[in-house]
Structure 1
């Protein structure tokens, strides 16, 4: 139906998460018909990002520098290290605005079925940081999935061996949520992670 180049563009756009054939087709038509300047800017910026963006040598988030801005900042708390699965998780935590420590990005989670082991997640580099930096608390912020929980347990054991305090971010009922609409797994997490208003006698 379309020319070979347009078909190639549609196929390329389908690599984006959540973009199916129809969405990719609409995007391609919009860029070619209505905003070629934006299409050119997108192409140039994407090519430059693919060429220049790599991983921070310390926390492994995405950056075009050897050290990302967070690792290069002297204003961060060196005693706290937060472990997350993806660079997007770092962005989400930073946008929340109440954490000021350091980060370590796994770029995934343990998954023996998919052949993803500790070496693929940079666990050796994480252990080097725990040994060489003044970390007092390791905060594990992996996703509340089966794989995320297994990864959290594996990392927690490594930290405990070094005498470092380990915490896991809480998962449970969202603010504004109603209990009748919350699934059982989330409610179970909420009860297990409950905090006291006050201690009785």
Structure 2
């Protein structure tokens, strides 16, 4: 649920901002299709289908067969979760009845339903975007991915002439800022944070070292 003055109120809300942050999505025309949030919702594993994959090294043929069967069962649960999400989401329930929702889920098994191929692409994007990063929320409600060395109190800024945000840190009793690193902040990656009519008086000067 969005809080008052949520920066994402007019661009899809916090739920939309969260899944796009997890993949460090592109801004503008290159952004991922709206319906692909289902793939990220499946990856979140809110229903507990996902388990640690077993180690198949140094196993007998029988042991490997049993463990492999367990992996396939886990995949079936994941597909069922995705099928249920797809069948009950608004874009489908707008034109199907409650009775046919159950039919869609059933057909996902009888007709060999599988996850879209781009599910794997999104998992790779998540791992690349989130590696050695932490999810954070700014004081104004923006969601982002911080560098591994970020700390509470770091300042998000955009340098004049650029679009990519960075984190700056002011040491205790210091006047010179430290550059922490580049950061992803959903909603300002396309230069949205910089007003088109900004004058020189609207910019702040930082001394860096």
Tell me whether the two structures share a fold, i.e. TM-score over 0.5. Answer: no
TM-score range, shorter chain: under 0.3
TM-score, normalised to structure 2's length? 0.23
The normalised TM-score by structure 1 is 0.24
Structure with larger RCO (C-alpha < 8 A, sep 6+): 2
Higher share of residues assigned helix? 1
